[in-house]
Structure 1
């Protein structure tokens, strides 16, 4: 169910029976010479829509401009500061709870959002407002991603290329796949990014001239379909698991017993 496509009475009927919602999170940032700036948003939205169609759980409109300041040197990238993003996400989630939702899955396709979505989820859980959990699509199927690509790459690599080839093939610049590989970084190793135990870079441009990593020529729409189906299955299972839990099971105990096993008179 797509929240924005429904009427308010229909949403009233939904929250009378259900308390689970999804919020898709992507980004608007460079993804090299071969992929659109909307790459992360397209992936998150497609996975959330698929899961909503398969389960009936409600999906909100997507959040497309997020924490992307580390890609700011590349034309077109848009971002908000992390504290602004966290406050926005918290306010948005509290809005859902006002209408009766108390379990939220942040359907995420941008690595820069991960710590901030988890921080917001922790805040909401601690004050017993909601159980909100961040779900990152490629982290749900790590073994498959490793198996299908020899040189994956954390950004603009073959996994994202294959997903867009499957979801929105008309947006992939197929003629730029080799230049993406040759102008980027094939392998991002610890030796290149750390010195004496310190992480020495802050921005994508510190490491990659064209903003991408991995071998994009390994990607195909067929592999993208395989990744999409596997990740969708994981998201559906997470939603069903969440729906089966009692709310109190998901909320932390106020304190551990200071004297476990003791009897009190």
Structure 2
């Protein structure tokens, strides 16, 4: 159920019986010469909508701009800073809580959002507002992703290429797949020289990859993308159903261990 397509009485009927919502989040940032800037938020929205359709749970509009300053040197990349992103997502989620939602899954497709979504989830759980967790699509199916590609990559690589070939093939510049591979970092281990004595010496993607991408994009196909999408959607559905079946009290922050502070004071 997509919230923006419903009327307010219909949503009233929903929250009278259900309390789960999915919030898709991505980014608008460079993904090489072959993929659109919309890559991450297209993947997040596609998976969130699919899982909502399969389960009947509520899906909100997508947060299209995320924490992406590490891609800022590439044309068109948009970003918000971490504190503003956290405050925005927290405010949006508190809005859901006001309307009766008490369990939220952040359906995320951008690595730069992860730590911030975890922080927002902790804030909301610790003050007893609701239970919110971050879910990253490729982390739900790591074995399948690893099996599918000989040279994978964390950004603009074959896994994201295959997903967009499946979801929005008209947006993939197929003629640029080889240049994406050859102008980027095909083997992620080739960037290991940017780590010194256990420290990461880089901050921005352009310091690692001239065209901002990693992996061998020529290994991607729409068929592989469909397999990845279906497997990830199934994982998300199972997560939502698990979440729906838990007592809220069991999801919120546990009490302090015994003895309770001050329990022996006179």
- For the aligned pair, the TM-score class normalised by the smaller chain equals over 0.9
Hey, what does 1:263 align to over in structure 2? none
Structure 1 position 4, deviation (Å): 0.4
1:69 correspondence with 2:69: yes
Report the Cα distance in structure 2 between the residues aligned to 1:144 and 1:236, rounded to whole angstroms.
Answer: 17
Map 1:167-246; keep pairs closer than 5 Å.
Answer: 167-189=167-189, 191-246=192-247
Separation of aligned partners in 2, 1:175 and 1:163: 17
Q: Does 2:47 match 1:43?
A: no
Distance (Å, rounded) in 2 between the aligned partners of 1:95 and 1:80: 20
1:193-233 Cα offsets, whole Å, 9 max, x none, are: 31011100000001000010000000000000000000000
> RMSD of the alignment, in Å?
0.9
What is the CA-CA distance between 1:188 and the residue it aligns to?
A: 2.1
> What is the CA distance between 1:130 and its match in structure 2?
0.7
Give 4+ residue runs of structure 1 displaced > 6 Å after superposition: none
- Segments of 5+ residues of structure 1 without an aligned counterpart are 260-265
- 1:249 equivalent in structure 2: 250
Q: Distance in 1 between matches of 2:177 and 2:184?
A: 11
Give the TM-score taking structure 2 as reference length: 0.96
Q: Which residue of 2 aligns with 1:90?
A: 90
Residue 183 of structure 1, CA deviation:
0.1
CA distance in 1, matches of 2:136, 2:187: 22
3-state DSSP class of the match of 2:233? helix
2:185 and 2:259 mapped to 1: Cα distance?
A: 52
Cα deviation 1:245-264 (Å, max 9, x = unaligned): 010010122201239xxxxx
- The size of the alignment, in residue pairs, is 259
More displaced stretch, 130-139 vs 247-256? 247-256
